[in-house]
Amino acid sequence: MSHCEPPSAARSVGPDVLHVALVGSPNAGKTTLFNSLTGMHAKTANYPGVTVTRREAIASFGDLEVMVVDLPGTYGLSAISPDEQIVADSLAGTIEGVSRPDALVMVADASTLERSLLFVAELLRLGLPACLVVTMIDEVAARGGAIDVDRLSTAIGIPVVGVIGHRGVGLDAVKSLLSDPAAWSRPVMVPPAEAAARSAWVRSVLSVAYRPPGADNRTRRIDAVLLHPVIGVLVFSVVMLAFFQAIFTLAAPLADRLDSLFGWFAGGVRDRVPGWFGEMLADGAVAGVGGVLVFLPQIILLFLILTLLEKVGYLSRAAFLADRLMGRFGMEGRSFVAMLSSFACAIPGILSARTIPSERRRIATMMAAPLMTCSARLPVFTLLISGFVPDRSVLGPIRSQGLVLLGLYVLGAVSGLAYAGILSVTALSGPAAPVVMELPPYRRPTLMAVLRQTWEGAWSFVRKAGTIILGSSLLLWVLLNVPSSTPPEGLTEARQASYQLEHSAAGTVGKALEPVFAPLGFEWRTNVALIGSLAAREVFVTTLALTTANADDASLPDRLQELRNDDGTPVYDAATVAALLVFFVYALQCMSTVAVLRRETNSWKWPAIAFTSMFALAYVGALVARLVVDVVT
């Protein structure tokens, strides 16, 4: 190997390490191959400027090290989605800081070779050393087809290996190929570029080496049920409800336990580390880390369920079923999955929009995601509903409090769809890429592959949201504690804290904001809590607990009910509570979401539009809610 140094002890990736890229269509088995070639050593990072995940690993073959990069799945090089653009740019060598690959490993599913070889033809025109790995050759045989890899290799003019990924068949042949790409045979004749000529090239190559498999009857039989006009829609609803239910009933208790664990831990830190530093550590850093980790149980569950549905093949069916509905609002089937994820958290929702090829539908989806009722709103809703909505039966087992909560979810979802619909005929009008989705065969995923993808998703959440939540909660601590003031004599400890808050920077801002929020019925304590909620919405509850702290250890809802204005009227009357609930349905009080929108759209334009328009919606909506409740009561 001319351009391969002996492996260094430091395993550094120098320019001399051979760089091999895996290229292929989605569902071709590319990632399975990547995992079996590289073991557990993959590291993920982002491509510069975009948040497309770059998966690479150093694979050792004997004394030789090769850097293997798993490129996103794509059908061709005429890129339209950010994922596909990365593939085109990587192969052209135009990404800053990332060298052009030295060789290509093209991965193609044996059962769809008639399509994947079209992409192979396009890739061969790049002139890089290339080999072809044909995956899932067992499926072809099981369905009565046949493939002769040696003849295929002769016909195309490059090395061809057949593999069965989950059983490890053919892996050694791939590994020994990778040790010396310079020795790979090259096509005698470069395949043609024009589509019909390419198609003829594919036909002639396959005519000598391939008997196509028969129909995939298992997939057909499953689809006859899952895509059935009645049964299919029923199953769809049940799957989505179960998904929703699982996130709340399975993850919520875990999140509560984590929350109290961190509360206890913060208390311990406060007791042991003296002075302001201990307080900052406890109420800023520990509370901030806790604020991130509280989300983790449901984020992990969300990614686990989504990964399972995707790998089994159901996610594309769900997108197929929901496409028409989402199309009415300027989005597409895949947007449905993003919307659904956003009920847990807008960030994974926005990230999953990446696979939507059309830019305008992708942006419409990302912009609507924050209006879905994320789980961080739930503590706020729970506090206000349990404290102020009388709990009575409306119709049998259906109770008023649950009905109000359901109403808020519906309000968010309907508004989100309408918001995307309005955007797509105003700021986002124009031509859009076609909606074409492949429905892969149903397959049983391996446990490792599912766990791996779940872990990667959860970790990307921690990286993207974690730093922002942590940073914001440290900043919030400073705002709540600076400048330090001396409370008057004779106050209880809790009242002292509340006095300090009132005279802090945050308290001052909260008071300065009173004219703005007075029409909604919010006074300074609420305003300070609203500022706090910019770190993450559920911080509203803890901040409100601080600003309303008093002598008697009453529960937070009780304290809120007892709060009085100067004229003796309650601060939290029905109208104000209604206004606050509606405000939380709409307002984009989440800096992590703003930051992720900024990264995913690569501009400040969309997060700025989202923040201001959703604030306006929140303000007007809260005002309307207040007026309506005032009239009714």
- Contacting positions for another protein (CB under 8 A): 75-76, 78, 80, 111-112, 114-115, 118-119, 195-200, 202-203, 212-213, 223, 227-230, 232-233, 316, 319-321, 323-325, 327, 333, 357-358, 431-439
Which 8-state DSSP code applies to residue 541? Answer: H
On whether the CB atoms of residues 75 and 122 are closer than 8 A, the answer is no
Pairwise CA distance, residues 137 & 111, whole Å: 8
User: Least distance in Å: CB of 524 to another protein?
Assistant: 50
How far, in Å, CA of 112 to CA of 481, rounded?
63
Distance CA 99, CA 83 (A): 18
Angle at 84 (CA atoms; ends 78, 87), nearest 5 degrees:
95
Contacts of residues 148-153 at CB distance under 8 Å and 24 or more positions apart, as own/partner, are 148/208, 148/209, 148/210, 149/209, 151/208, 151/209, 152/205, 152/206, 152/208, 152/209, 152/210, 153/185
Q: Tokens standing for 239?
A: 């799957």
20 versus 156: smaller Cβ distance to another protein = 156
In angstroms, what is the minimal distance from the CB of 206 to another protein?
9
* Three-state DSSP state, 56: strand
| Nearer of residues 111 and 341 to another protein, judged by Cβ | 111
Whether the CB-CB separation of 31 and 76 falls below 8 Å is answered with: no
- 204, containing H or E segment: helix 195-207
415 token code pair: 């508004």
Pick 200 or 448: Cβ nearer another protein:
200
**Smallest gap, in angstroms, from Cβ of residue 240 to another protein?**
15
Least CB distance from residue 440 to another protein, whole Å?
A: 8
CA 449, CA 36: separation in Å to the nearest integer? 10
CA dihedral sign of residues 210, 213, 214, 215: negative
The two three-digit tokens of residue 403, written as one number: 């009905």
Looking at the Cβ atoms of 327 and 387, the one nearer to another protein is 327
- Closest listed residue to residue 24, CA positions, set 117, 138, 103: 117
Minimal distance, residue 169 CB to another protein, in Å: 22
The helix (H) or strand (E) run that includes residue 162 is: strand 160-162
Q: Which is nearer to another protein, 290 or 333 (CB)?
A: 333
List the structure tokens of 409. Answer: 């979810």
Count the Cβ atoms, other than its own, within 10 Å of residue 315.
22
Contact 606, 366 (CB under 8 A): yes
**Cβ nearer to another protein, comparing 317 with 525:** 317
Question: Least distance in Å: CB of 353 to another protein?
Answer: 17
Least Å distance between CB 479 and another protein?
A: 46
CB of 369 to another protein, least distance (A): 22
CB of 420 to another protein, least distance (A): 17
Q: How far is the CB of 571 from another protein (least distance, A)?
A: 48
Q: Considering beta carbons, is residue 98 or 435 the nearer one to another protein?
A: 435
CB-wise, 396 or 434, nearer to another protein?
Answer: 434
Looking at residue 50, the DSSP 8-state letter turns out to be S
For residue 433, the minimal CB distance to another protein (Å) is: 5
> Among residues 195 and 261, whose Cβ is nearest to another protein?
195
Structure tokens at 616: 């306006």
Nearer to another protein, 121 or 585 (CB): 121
Which C-beta is closer to another protein: that of 88 or that of 450? 88
Q: Quickly tell me which residue has 């995601």 as its tokens.
A: 369
Q: Which tokens sit at 36?
A: 């079996």
> How far is it, in rounded angstroms, from Cα 579 to Cα 601?
32
